[in-house]
């Protein structure tokens, strides 16, 4: 019996980090022992290379705006573990987490589970009897992802790009096949804009499953996109509705695209359930609650920004949006990357567009160190071993015409969220 909250969290983190098996047998067996809670409420399932968290949050906001009790299962956490399991944007309490971990630990017994499998079961179990619907963010991929034991009302693929190639690649086509595993028979699929190289894979899977497909740019989209001082506005449109003057925090066009994916999903859900669709509900609720670590402003003058962009497509969108919106500002970057990420391509993308990059290392085996980079190719890149020691010097030397961007890993963002707090 675990005695307190910290012991429960420590137990979860003590479980193996990687999946023991590529199939879903263990998690299905464990869920069955606790009554298959995931089948007791409606779900919406979300995967994608980038944009999962933002889309999950936007969609949960919209559903909450109709008066529903909405579960939200997401990762990673930034400030505290409880962020991963929420109801109407209220984190699972320490008491409930401790009680549920003890119960599950006892009921599941000797079934071997990885950490993410146990956390997934914990989320599904906690939501039972407490929510009307849960928005479930997949971990990696979809077909073999441990969240993929549900029959959702709708499925979402936000984007398909290169990331986690060793696990679900190596090609973008392999990644598309894996993510297409989220598609369920006769359940609508909403997607972001799909690359020509993968569109056929997604379309064919949707056709096989008789899943109606709604793709950004073809079946719905945005226009009149504008951004000013970390606020953006746009118009949403599809063949049935146009909604003007939608606004939310952010500066990247991809944020508006993720919001449009959430709106399209919400409209489909409402229509499928013969519910009233209110434009005002969308306008009032889309951006009501925010996620930390996504274009998060830490300080205004000088501007300090944190964003957990951890793959090449996310970094590309982030730095190009930032330089476009703040073309008169010099950007300083603090970056930490993992050994299994495209860190050389990321540095190549950042270096020509910023004043200086400080690369650092996290205190974990996956984190890339000095020997994992070829810094001789750059005149404006340096390595710092201990970013906490150096950070105050970097911040104190910032001028008003400069921006400090902290990016590359949610682990770095998480640690510095606490540092700046």
- pLDDT (tens place) for every residue of the chain, 421 residues total: 999 999 999 999 999 987 656 789 999 999 999 999 999 999 999 999 889 999 999 999 999 999 999 999 998 888 899 999 999 999 999 999 999 999 999 999 989 999 999 999 999 999 999 999 999 999 887 888 999 999 999 999 999 886 554 555 578 898 899 999 999 999 999 999 999 999 999 999 999 999 999 999 999 999 999 998 889 999 999 999 999 999 999 989 999 999 999 999 999 999 999 998 999 999 999 999 998 888 888 888 888 999 988 788 889 889 998 998 888 889 999 999 888 777 888 999 999 999 999 999 998 888 889 888 888 889 999 999 889 888 989 999 999 899 999 998 888 988 888 778 7
pLDDT number for residue 78: 84
pLDDT value of position 163: 59
In a domain, residue 60? The reply is yes
Q: Which of 351, 305, 311 is nearest to 325 (CA)?
A: 305
For residues 265 and 317, state if they share a domain: no
Question: According to the model, what pLDDT value does residue 314 have?
Answer: 86
Task: Say if residue 128 is in the same domain as residue 232.
Answer: yes
pLDDT at 229: 80
39 & 153 share domain:
yes
Inter-residue contact 28 to 21 (CB < 8 Å): no
Closest CA to 50 of 228, 268, 348, 254: 254
Kind and range of the H or E element at 332? strand 330-335
* Residues 303 and 193 reside in one and the same domain: no
Domain assignment of residue 82, yes or no = yes
Q: Looking at the domain assignment, is residue 78 inside a domain?
A: yes
Closest CA to 342 of 372, 384, 375, 377: 372
> Would residue 291 count as lying in a domain?
no
pLDDT at 21: 61
CA-based nearest residue to 258, from 206, 205, 294, 296: 294
Pairwise CA distance, residues 186 & 150, whole Å: 14
Statement to judge: residues 37 and 99 lie in one domain? yes
Is position 290 within any domain? no
Q: In this structure, is residue 208 part of a structural domain? A: yes
302, 83 Cβ separation under 8 angstroms: no
Pairing of strands 220-228, 231-238: antiparallel
Assess whether 281 and 331 both reside in one domain: no
Task: Give the distance, in angstroms, between the CA of residue 391 and the centroid of all CA atoms in the same chain.
Answer: 26
Quote the strand ranges of 22-69, DSSP E: 42-47
CA angle 344, 346, 352 (to 5 degrees): 100
Judge whether 220 and 240 are in contact, CB under 8 Å: no
- Cα 350 to Cα 136, 314, 335, distances in angstroms: 32, 12, 10
Residues 406 and 318 in one domain: yes
Identify the domain boundary among 235, 264, 285.
285
pLDDT of residue 246: 98
User: Same domain for 361 and 233?
Assistant: no
Predicted local distance difference test score (pLDDT) of residue 216: 97
- CATH code, 383: 3.90.190.20
Q: Which of 285, 312, 327 is the last residue of a domain?
A: 285
What are residue 246's DSSP bridge partners?
A: 234
Residue 348: CB atoms within 10 A of its CB come to 13
200 shares its domain with 331: no
Q: What distance in Å separates the CA atoms of residue 63 and residue 161, rounded to the nearest whole number?
A: 28
Q: Identify whether residues 157 and 31 lie together within a single domain.
A: yes
pLDDT at 264: 98
Q: Is 28 helix (H, G, I), strand (E, B) or coil?
A: helix
Q: Nearest-5° angle of CA 290, CA 296, CA 297?
A: 125
- 407 domain residue, yes or no: yes
Q: Is the CB of residue 81 less than 8 Å from the CB of residue 119?
A: no
In the 3-class helix/strand/coil scheme, how is 290-319 assigned residue by residue? Answer: CCCCCCEEEECCCEEEEECCCCHHHHHHHH
User: What is the domain count for the chain?
Assistant: 2
Last residue within a domain, chosen from 242, 259, 285: 285
- 258 and 320 share a domain? no
Supply the CATH number for residue 262's domain: 3.40.1190.10
| Whole-number Å distance between alpha carbons of 122 and 104 | 8
- CA gap 290, 62 in Å, rounded: 13
DSSP 377: G
Q: Give yes or no: residues 316 and 206 share one domain.
A: no
Which residues constitute the domain of residue 397?
296-420
């Amino acid at each position: 019996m675990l005695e307190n909250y910290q012991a429960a969290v420590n137990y979860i983190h003590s479980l193996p980090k990687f999946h023991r098996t590529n199939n879903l047998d263990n998690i299905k067996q464990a869920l069955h022992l606790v009554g298959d809670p995931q089948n007791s409420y409606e779900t919406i399932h979300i995967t994608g290379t980038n944009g999962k968290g933002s889309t999950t949050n936007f969609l949960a906001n919209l559903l909450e705006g109709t008066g529903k009790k909405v579960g939200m299962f997401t990762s990673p956490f930034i400030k505290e573990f409880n962020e991963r399991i929420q109801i109407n944007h209220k984190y699972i309490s320490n008491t409930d987490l401790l009680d549920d971990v003890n119960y599950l630990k006892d009921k599941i017994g000797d079934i071997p589970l990885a950490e993410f499998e146990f956390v997934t079961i914990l989320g599904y179990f906690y939501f039972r009897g407490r929510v009307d619907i849960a928005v479930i963010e997949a971990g990696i991929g979809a077909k073999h992802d441990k969240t993929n034991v549900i029959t959702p009302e709708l499925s979402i693929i936000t984007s398909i790009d290169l990331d986690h190639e060793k696990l679900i690649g190596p090609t973008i086509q392999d990644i598309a096949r894996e993510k297409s595993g989220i598609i369920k028979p006769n359940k609508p699929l909403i997607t972001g804009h799909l690359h020509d190289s993968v569109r056929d894979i997604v379309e064919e899977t949707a056709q096989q499953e008789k899943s109606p497909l709604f793709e950004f740019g073809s079946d719905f989209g945005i226009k009149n996109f504008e951004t000013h001082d970390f606020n953006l506005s746009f118009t949403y449109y599809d063949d049935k509705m146009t909604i003007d003057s939608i606004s939310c925090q952010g500066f990247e066009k991809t944020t508006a695209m993720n919001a449009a994916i959430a709106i399209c999903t919400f409209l489909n859900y409402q229509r499928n359930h013969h519910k009233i669709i209110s434009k005002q509900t969308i306008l009032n609720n889309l951006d009501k609650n925010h996620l930390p670590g996504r274009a998060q402003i830490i300080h205004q003058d000088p501007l300090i920004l944190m964003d957990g962009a951890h793959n090449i497509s996310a970094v590309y969108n982030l730095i190009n949006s930032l330089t476009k919106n703040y073309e008169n500002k010099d950007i300083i970057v603090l970056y930490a990357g993992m050994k299994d990420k495209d860190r050389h391509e990321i540095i190549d993308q950042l270096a020509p567009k910023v004043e200086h990059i400080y690369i650092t290392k996290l205190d974990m085996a996956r984190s890339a160190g000095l020997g994992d980079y070829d810094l001789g190719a750059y005149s404006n890149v340096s390595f710092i071993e201990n970013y906490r020691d150096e950070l105050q010097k970097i911040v104190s030397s910032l001028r008003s015409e400069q921006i400090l961007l902290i990016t590359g890993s949610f682990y770095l963002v998480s640690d510095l969220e606490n540092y700046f707090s």
